[in-house]
Structure 1
Amino acid sequence: MNSCGHKNTIRTVTPKTLGCEECLNEGLTWFHLRVCRECGHVGCCDQSIGRHATAHFHATGHPIIEGFDPPEGWGWCFADEVVVTLPDQTAHTGPIPRYY
């Protein structure tokens, strides 16, 4: 059974943007959103063109994301490639634009 050795990096975060930060800056569209549970960066999933949540992991080493839109509440550890049970669900701070 695989387990996550990075649960100590999980924080209660405030999402930095209402949508994928990079896609909003670049005028791209996304499919689903992921929020970094270490810093609050909002990035798009790997089904999106930019794959910005994964890119954020590679750039920062922040391993754990939460399925964020629609509110899903599950966690994923990029480093260990396992689903993670999160202690809470990140609150939405406003309406998130839909781009799919």
Structure 2
Amino acid sequence: MTGVESTGIDVTVPPSGTGCLECDAAGGWWVHLRRCAQCGHIGCCDSSPAKHATAHAAATGHPIIQSFEPGEDWFWDYRTSAMITGPALAPPAHRPVEETAPGPRDRVPANWRDLAG
């Protein structure tokens, strides 16, 4: 295998949006966002109630995510359960800075800390 198939990273693919695709579709909320380094899918982190980034990795076999939070550029490899270094991905590199974490601000319940994983 070569390229994306062996690395799980495609630097040409932009993110799928500015928030978790599944949470946005269902009217849900998230704690932090993660970006699939292979296809650009934006999903919520494992501290979020729905854990869509990990579910996406399991369903697709896409092994690597990058934080989609401002000021963070770390990658996580599900195959090794370890942080790794990776290249710059296609922009944008993070969610809009004006959006809150957790977010989106208009859907985060007052008791979100009790609900987060």
TM-score (structure 2 length as normaliser): 0.72
Q: Which residue of 2 aligns with 1:25?
A: 25
Larger radius of gyration: 2
Comparing 44-53 with 87-96, which one deviates more in the overlay? 87-96
CA distance in 2, matches of 1:49, 1:32: 11
**Structure (1 or 2) with the greater strand fraction:** 1
Give the unaligned 5+ runs of structure 1.
1-5
- Alignment partner, residue 96 of structure 2: 95
Give the match for residue 9 of structure 2: 10
Note if contact 1:45-1:53 (Cα within 8 Å) is conserved in structure 2: yes
1:1-100 → structure 2 map (5 Å cutoff): 8-12=7-11, 13-92=13-92, 95=96, 97-98=99-100, 99=103
The Cα of 1:70 is off from its aligned counterpart by: 2.6
Q: CA deviation at 1:53?
A: 0.2
8 Å CA contact 2:43, 2:56 repeated in 1: yes
C-alpha distance in 1 between matches for 2:72 and 2:60: 23
CA contact (8 A) 1:32 1:70 kept: no
Aligned length: 95
Contact 2:22 2:52 survives alignment (8 Å):
yes
Runs (4+) of structure 1 moved beyond 4 Å? none
Measured after TM superposition, the shift of residue 50 of structure 1 is: 0.7
Distance apart, 1:69 and its partner CA: 1.5
Q: How far, CA to CA, are the matches of 1:31 and 1:8 in structure 2?
A: 27
* Alignment-mate amino acid for residue 52 of structure 1: H
TM-score scaled by length of structure 1? 0.84
Identical-residue share of aligned pairs (%): 43
Q: What is the CA RMSD across the aligned residues, in angstroms?
A: 2.1
Q: 1:64, 1:78 within 8 Å by CA — same for their partners in 2? A: yes
